[in-house]
Amino acid sequence: MGNALEWIGSKLYTGLVWFEYCAKHPIFGCRLCGTCKLHDLGLTCPMTCPKQLRNGPCGGVRANGHCEVKPEMECRWVRIERRARKYWPKSWWHPRHINPPVRWDLQATSSWLNYLYNVDKHKEEYEEIKAKQQ
Amino acid sequence: MAIGNLQAVAESGAFLVTSEIGPPKGADPDAVRKAARVMKGCVDAVNLTDNQTAVVRISSVAAAVLVQQEGVEAVVQMTVRDRNRIALQSDVLGLAALGIKNVVCMSGDHPCNGNHPAAKPVYDLDSITWLQTVVQMTRDGKFQCGEEMKKKPELFVGAVENPFAPPYEYRPIRLGKKVDAGARYIQTQCAFDLDYLRRFMADVVKLGLHEQVKILVGITPMKSAKMARHMQTNVPGLQVPEAVCRRMEAAADPKEEGLAIAVETIHAVREIPGVAGIHLMPVMWEDVVPLVVERAGLLPRPTVEIATTA
């Protein structure tokens, strides 16, 4: 299996990153972290949380479910939990799975290619989830 | 084998009492020392906050050393707000080398409401992956990257939880994540509205988490009616019932009333299944700690012999 990161710098790769950003930023507020979690977290980007929390809400969520930093925004984790619990297939929503920390060396790389080539190590994560469920 | 006093008391099964000191906004060691002397003998360990509300203060590690020089065991709070994983792990090695026994991992208040709102919020790790990292360091002797270290730090590692903020159904599950990550004790946000706490604890007991982790409920004695109103309206993540505010406003001696409310809350909290202790958070009112602990009938504190691992 090839390494998706070898193509960084090529025009095609830069174009793909641009395309990914243009597709995901207007809808989800994509920050190009390179390790996309949208599919695991009820189509809500945890990187749009002011604290970029990937493992649950902080202690400062307002009583109306909004963010303490941006009072006009619904807490990302209130939204993740609500959407995932309501609309997500049970096989996708693992509320107690610990998401690994962001890999900042993958910032501004294509998360789609990182997923395809398992650069983000999601396969190991899913195996861990499977092992826990058994 | 217990690493320090807090772990020894926790393992003895006694009801735990911890407290908190907010280091001063200036290089004055006496404020910390004085607060530590007040609390000596009435608590099992004292937390040192890490630049709380994102305001620059004496570092929690330095303040912890001052507190331990006064003969009180320190719990160092470490937030992921200001340091990336390299600095955080380096500080863990440093504080263990200085003889500190306890660490609490948390995400920390956002800089937006602090005295440097233009600061870069780091949040390289989140509270749970940070907790995982410290546990990996203390248990396996490995850094976050997987590399081994020569001498592993010996620490009793804890975390925090807030049962009083949404999403309420998710909070016990998040606590479960922290238990899975290796937390040994949990300190909660200040409890005023016990209905939220009862619902939270019922779910925690259902998940069996209270058997894996010691849960210390946060208690804040209020100094004035103004403080009660401020906490009710301006502090996100707190639930202060209207009845408590009214009671504070109607009181002839608000300080005495605040103390009475704190003691009543402690008695009520002890009745909730799964609660293993209390964590006193006297905001700028350290002198009240001995009074609260005494009136709640939690004195004298157990003295447990600590086995030295050397």
CB contact B162 to A (< 8 Å): yes
> What is the DSSP track for chain B?
--SSHHHHHHHHTPPEEEEEE---SSS-HHHHHHHHHHHTTT-SEEEE-SSGGG---S-HHHHHHHHHHTT--EEEEEESSS--HHHHHHHHHHHHHTT--EEEEE----GGGSS-TTSPP--SS-HHHHHHHHHIIIII-B-TTS-B-SS----EEEEEE-TTSS-TTTHHHHHHHHHHHT-SEEEEEEP--HHHHHHHHHHHHHHTGGGTSEEEEEE-----HHHHHHHHHHSTT----HHHHHHHHH-SSHHHHHHHHHHHHHHHHHTSTTEEEEEE--TT-TTHHHHHHHHTT--SPP--PPPP--
Residues of B in contact with A125 (CB under 8 A): none
Tell me which residues of chain A have a C-beta less than 8 Å from any C-beta of chain B: 50-65, 68-69, 75, 77-78, 81-82, 85, 95-96, 98-102, 104
Q: What is the pLDDT of residues B71-119, one digit of tens each?
A: 999 999 999 999 999 999 999 999 999 999 999 999 999 999 999 999 9
Contacts A–B by Cβ distance under 8 A? 105
This complex has an ipTM of: 0.95
Q: Do A53 and B126 touch (CB under 8 A)?
A: yes
Q: Do A57 and B174 touch (CB under 8 A)?
A: yes
Tens-of-pLDDT digits for all 310 residues of chain B? 789 999 999 999 999 999 999 999 999 999 999 999 999 999 999 999 999 999 999 999 999 999 999 999 999 999 999 999 999 999 999 999 999 999 999 999 999 999 999 999 999 999 999 999 999 999 999 999 999 999 999 999 999 999 999 999 999 999 999 999 999 999 999 999 999 999 999 999 999 999 999 999 999 999 999 999 999 999 999 999 999 999 999 999 999 999 999 999 999 999 999 999 999 999 989 999 999 999 999 999 998 876 554 4
Chain B, 205 to 234: residues with Cβ < 8 Å from chain A are none
pLDDT value at A1 more than 90? no
Structural domain boundaries in chain A = 4-133
Structural domain boundaries in chain B = 5-295
What residue of A is the nearest CA neighbor of B169?
A81
Q: Do A50 and B112 touch (CB under 8 A)?
A: yes
Rounded to a whole number of angstroms, the distance from the CA of A9 to the nearest CA of chain B is 26
Q: Do A60 and B237 touch (CB under 8 A)?
A: yes
Q: Structurally, what CATH architecture does the domain formed by B5-295 represent?
A: Alpha-Beta Barrel (3.20)
Q: What is the pLDDT of residues B65-84, one digit of tens each?
A: 999 999 999 999 999 999 99
Rounded to a whole number of angstroms, the distance from the CA of A88 to the nearest CA of chain B is 15
